[in-house]
Chains A and B, each alone.
Chain A
């Protein structure tokens, strides 16, 4: 039986082609930006950059060691959380609130503030009925930009640590942050935002529109109007995707026709969240002076991503046999939009869970067990194929270090990577980077399943309920933000525990990456010898994939077995 549509395969191939063509130009551009070299946009943006430094009192020549870099990173994020929290709580008295929405309750405000600053964008609220235009445009848009730029700054600092020799400094956090915002995120978001408006994504500050229904409805009295929410969506949408943030303007996120009106916008939106994480591998190659290293990492990422996408696509196309048995033909369209179809929906979902974007254009809770399981699997790998902007690559570099070390032990060669000896300290940091999210997922999920406060929120019965809880903590700990949205997680228990999972999953690995940068920067360069394991050939790419899969699979196989796999057996076996 032919279980695919040729158009879907063409769409997937077209997207991959576009992204691959972008890797080199975008990756080189980002390398130039972070190294402070003249680039395409310098004539326009350099004066603005100077202005920002003068205003904030930043000396762009002055670099710092990893401790001060990490301090600045944590300080900025901490202040961001406090600021966001205050705005959310006091939303009711702030301007641009034509619907008169009240402030957020305290635990929800905590969860949301942490969520947006950690680049997770888990949302325990529905945008259209909870957040004012001020909340959406000012603090939330701001966090979309800065959380993405902060993640990129961390990976750039780590790359510098690898590239530099016997150095103490790893860069200036304020400068890296500013450059990421001004040269990379802002120009792309601006162009993409205007493009999205041209395709029907709304952008205005009007009050909600009343439309007279063509056919009046009878529900507890006649309903004759449809209220159409409005708002500055396009400017929010483009950075939400580009920065792998993912928090929707509306509850339905990128499934909402006002966020994602057509197959073309869908294609562009997928490209937006994949382009920076993929291109950063080339930035890495450029900055360490060996672009083949970047391509090797990119290849490993793409292989895992494409195979996962294939499995998800196949499972969704095969559909739900329980539905087929009732004389209904077709793939699994529950929770999916007709305009995207299975191809556009699964491509978006695989990309969004693989990048830590967490935006959705179809409801993951209603995916087939295996399709939904692939989404979970991609997150549980630690968000590395390619992962969030910045965070994906520094986590992947953690895996690379582990792969080099284990391979070194197995074949009796000195573990070294790009001329740097891998020693105990690097291994400690890599293990923290790679395992933090997994430990957080398992501990918090276990807690939620044991406590009534946790199990009370589950919508779907049986193994699917386990998947909902596991997915929630996997999403929070890996700063993804997508959800098996049936879970009613807007309770104090979930607001707080998910908030802590996000904090842990974001800041512990980031600080470990910076610490590793500091220790690598201080090392001497060891020229490659016969005893050096090459890290840019197919053997190493294969080995890296194996290491990523082993860590992911061994940590989570039991949980995945009890959730998606049991449910799949129930689905195909039920009479």
Chain B
């Protein structure tokens, strides 16, 4: 009786394994490959035949001529750099942790990022997303405010008129889905690549 039950359990595991871990993923993979090959493959962006990134995964930018993304915790999570997809994750710093925000200027993740922005000439209130790290450490987007406060710096570094840079930013705004879902945002990698193309 008990032995028969054990046999049943094992056979059921075997047939479920075939159905759920071979056939099911294979069907999804096949459907993806046929209908949405680019998306199934990671939404890769190519330039002259070379993969330069994914439109879904952020990249690190620190030079003045590029728009900066949000801080990323992947470097402190054991990654080789900020925005290292092999070490995805957030800072996990609690809201009162001095490593996140401390009264001493320039220490802590938030204050450090704020100082870099102030040094680059940003005045007025800083957008919160530019000084906090995302949950994935790979956030490809920044808010519109976060892009706007960087326009002057980028324009100066590129010797481009600010309205032209602003125009490129505006062209890259992605709205809310159906007008209400999510946040209005700008994809930093795509924006920076558009700037490089514009000169």
Contact = CB atoms under 8 A, between A and B. Distances in A.
B176 A263 contact: yes
B21 A257 contact: no
Contacts of B150: none
Contacts of B119: none
A565 to B, nearest CB: 13
Contact of A186 (B24, B51, B176, B177): B24
Interface in B11-69: 11-13, 15-17, 19-21, 24-25, 27-29, 31-33, 35-36, 39-44, 50-54, 56-57, 59-63, 66
A39 interface: no
Contact of A219 (B20, B33, B81): B81
Contact of A203 (B2, B40, B193): B40
B87 to A, nearest CB: 7
A202 interface: yes
Interface string A264-285: 1011000000000000000000
Interface in A144-200: 145-146, 174, 177-178, 181, 186, 189-190, 193-194, 197-200
A485 B135 CA distance: 11
Contacts of B177: 262-264
B185 A339 contact: yes
Contacts of B185: 338-339
A137 B25 contact: yes
**Contact residues on A (Cβ < 8 Å of other chain), bracket:** 35 or more
A209 interface: yes
Interface string A449-476: 0000000000111101001000000000
A212 B180 contact: no
A205 B193 CA distance: 29
Interface in B176-198: 176-177, 179-183, 185, 189, 192-193, 196
Nearest to B61: A215
Contacts of A232: 25, 28-29
Nearest to A341: B183
Contact of B20 (A7, A186, A261, A571): A186
B95 interface: yes
Contacts of B154: none
B88 A252 contact: yes
B97 interface: yes
SS of A interface (majority): mixed
B20 A72 contact: no
B47 to A, nearest CB: 8
Nearest to B146: A338
Interface in A207-255: 208-215, 217, 219, 223, 226-230, 232, 234-236, 250-252, 255
Contacts, number: 375
B199 to A, nearest CB: 15
A366 B136 contact: no
A72, A198, A250, A257: most-surrounded residue (chain B CB, <10 A): A257
Nearest to B185: A338
B32 A234 contact: yes
B8 interface: yes
A361 B131 CA distance: 19
A11 B181 contact: yes
Contact of A212 (B27, B52, B94, B127): B52
A146 B31 contact: no
Contact of A250 (B13, B88, B103): B88
Interface in A72-119: 72, 75-76, 79-80, 83
A335 B183 contact: no
Interface stretch (A315-323, A417-425, A435-443, A506-514): A315-323
Interface stretch (A51-59, A293-301, A522-530): A51-59
A228 B57 contact: yes
Contact of A214 (B9, B31, B196): B196
A323 B32 CA distance: 43
Nearest to A219: B81
B133 to A, nearest CB: 7
Contacts of A217: 60, 62, 81-82
A7 B15 CA distance: 46
A574 B51 CA distance: 48
Contacts of B16: 142, 145-146, 181
A501 interface: no
Residue with the highest number of chain B CB atoms closer than 10 Å, among A208, A252, A484: A252
B124 to A, nearest CB: 8
A460 B40 contact: no
Contacts of B101: 320, 322-323, 326
Contact of B94 (A142, A266, A567): A567
Interface string B122-142: 000111110111111111111
Contact of B135 (A362, A486, A574): A362
Contacts of A146: 13, 16
A197 B126 contact: no
B17 A337 contact: no
Nearest to B124: A327
A56 B32 contact: no
A252 B135 contact: yes
Contact of A126 (B24, B59, B87, B90): B87
Contact of A57 (B4, B103, B189): B4
Given A329-B126, A460-B93, 17 more contacts: A56-B8, A138-B17, A177-B12, A200-B43, A204-B29, A214-B66, A217-B81, A226-B53, A227-B84, A255-B135, A323-B132, A337-B136, A338-B139, A369-B94, A459-B93, A464-B94, A567-B95
9 contacts: A141-B21, A190-B28, A194-B31, A197-B36, A198-B36, A217-B60, A320-B101, A336-B135, A337-B141
Interface of A: 7, 10-11, 14, 52, 55-58, 71-72, 75-76, 79-80, 83, 126, 128-129, 137-139, 141-142, 145-146, 174, 177-178, 181, 186, 189-190, 193-194, 197-206, 208-215, 217, 219, 223, 226-230, 232, 234-236, 250-252, 255-258, 261-264, 266-267, 319-320, 322-323, 326-341, 344, 360-363, 365-369, 459-462, 464, 467, 484-486, 567, 570-571, 574-575
Q: Which 7 A-B pairs have the closest CB atoms?
A: A263-B182, A330-B128, A255-B135, A363-B90, A486-B92, A252-B88, A464-B94
